[in-house]
Amino acid sequence: MRLLGNILWLVLGGLMIAFGWAIVGLVLCLTIIGIPLGIQSFKMAALTLTPFGKTVVYEGGVGSTIVNLVWVLLVGWWMALGYVVAGLANCITIIGIPFGIQSFKMAKLALWPFGAQIRELY
């Protein structure tokens, strides 16, 4: 089921969104100050590429929390809001519910990315 979900995800727009995140990550990594933000963009690209069968685990400490608070205030809230709206739109139909759940997972990562690790589910 993971394979089928990821293939459908890629065909229906996941590949383009992951590519966009990767481009943003490359642009952010052009400056020293942007490197930490670029790394978070690459993390988002990895999750967006194949979200089925993956989970987000938070292991950050105080430093991650402080940076995440700044992130939420500057960009995190509107990126997460976009994923929540997409998730709600997907959940309108029964077929779209699994895709909506993946959008909610990405909203969580978009809101609080520092200290988060993407892990495979077994």
- Outline where DSSP puts E strands in the chain: 54-58, 116-120
- Span 73-114, pLDDT tens digits: 988 899 899 999 999 999 999 999 999 999 999 999 999 999
% of the chain at pLDDT higher than 70 = 100
Task: Answer for the pair 14, 48: CB distance below 8 angstroms, yes or no.
Answer: yes
Length of the chain: 122
Domain boundaries, the chain: 2-120
Q: What is the pTM of this model?
A: 0.84
pLDDT of residue 104: 95
- Which residues does 34 contact at the CB level (< 8 Å), separation at least 6? 27, 28
